[in-house]
Amino acid sequence: MTVYGIHASHEQIHPADLLTAVRRAEEAGFGAAMSSDHFSPWSARQGQSGFAWSWLGAALQATELPFGVVTAPGQRYHPAITAQAIGTLAAMNPGRFWAALGTGEASNEHITGDGWPRKDVRTARLRECVDVIRALLSGEEVSHDGLVTVDRAKLWTLPDEVPLLIGAAVSPQTARWCAEWADGLITVNAPPERLRELADAYRDAGGKGKLHLQVHLSWADDDDTALAIAHDQWRTNIFRPPVCWDLELAEHFDVVAERVTPAEVAEVVNVSSDLKWHAERLNEYASLGFEEIYLHHVGQDLIPFVDAFGEHVLPEVTA
């Protein structure tokens, strides 16, 4: 049966309010949660960016939900530090934590002052990081000289079971590459034919584990309000790679999004006041083979969304 979870967007919401929301989501019937991991929001209007790893420790203790995080080792985080963070959360919360590993965005990684590598270099760097993280989580002492350097690192606190390391992909090419090393795949909502192509690319390349999907949506009591929320909060997030990878500041995203229309936002965010319509979209995603689906309401007030979807949508999609 498909698991339906809530997405915690640190770029948009104060961490204390996010904690309240995920606790409410558990009470409303959501079965899991996942978290972003950003240093910067995508827009000044979003206005937040709490430290995900601190928050995850609190959220795992405050609920009984399983949690995941999408993170980018290699520049802002040394892979040994990422491994230590993953290992500690997994040791304290057996079977309840996973991490999705991606190549990251300049908006978060430029803060180190290091140059932002080409995509092929970032991909190669991530592959090195994956091997380092797996070895450390398995208890090995690791030294490595490459795009990342590790000197005699060893984790002294280990989980009883190595948590899942999920691959993050938005293209079939990356999905096929993730199949080489990942314990599952995560992507974001797109037209069904695009999602089917991506899922098939992962499975046909031998990809194992579950398919995870993050769904951007906007709901309100009427369509106009739902669309206004999406346009206000998510119009900086409609740009395809490499734009979304390579811009450095929230102000940059706000400038390039100045002429984005509400209709353009509705192409990448599921916008509707009709809860049955949202349930139909979620059932469609599940029919494509996605086994864990995380709902990201792009507004900043999550409680009405949680209550409405808990009462009216979750019963439709879990029946």
- Residue 244 — very low, low, confident or very high, per pLDDT cuts 50/70/90? very high
Q: For residue 103, which of 241, 254, 269, 290 has the smallest C-alpha distance?
A: 241
Residue at token pair 């990809």: 207
**pTM of the full structure:** 0.96
Q: Dihedral of CA 52/56/58/63: which sign?
A: positive
- Residues 291-310 have pLDDT tens digits of 999 999 999 999 999 999 99
- Residues 79-114 have pLDDT tens digits of 999 999 999 999 999 999 999 999 999 999 999 999
pLDDT at 96 (0 to 100): 98
In the predicted structure, residue 319 carries a pLDDT above the cut 90: no
| 313, burial (CB in 10 Å: exposed 0-12, middle 13-18, buried 19+) | buried
- Residues 156-208 have pLDDT tens digits of 999 999 999 999 999 999 999 999 999 999 999 999 999 999 999 999 999 99
Residue at token pair 């990942």: 182
**What's the average model confidence in pLDDT over 274-299?**
97
What is the overall mean pLDDT for the chain?
A: 97
pLDDT at 4 (0 to 100): 98
SS3 per-residue string spanning the chain: CCEEEEEECCCCCCHHHHHHHHHHHHHHCCCEEEECCCCCCCCCCCCCCCCHHHHHHHHHHHCCCCEEEEECECCCECHHHHHHHHHHHHHHCCCCEEEEECCCCHHHHHHHCCCCCCHHHHHHHHHHHHHHHHHHHCCCCEEEECCCEEEEECCCCCCCCCCCEEEECCCHHHHHHHCCCCCEEEEECCCHHHHHHHHHHHHHCCCCCEEEEEEEEECCCCHHHHHHHHHHHHHHHCCCCCHHHHCCCHHHHHHHCCCCCHHHHCCCCEECCCHHHHHHHHHHHHHCCCCEEEEEECCCCHHHHHHHHHHHHHHHHHC
pLDDT at 278 (0 to 100): 98
Residue at token pair 């989501």: 25
- Residue 212 — very low, low, confident or very high, per pLDDT cuts 50/70/90? very high
pLDDT at 239 (0 to 100): 95
**What's the average model confidence in pLDDT over 112-126?**
97
pLDDT at 5 (0 to 100): 98
Provide CB contacts within 8 A for 211, sequence distance 6+: 184, 185, 186, 199, 202, 289, 290, 291, 292
pLDDT at 275 (0 to 100): 98
Residue at token pair 């209007």: 45
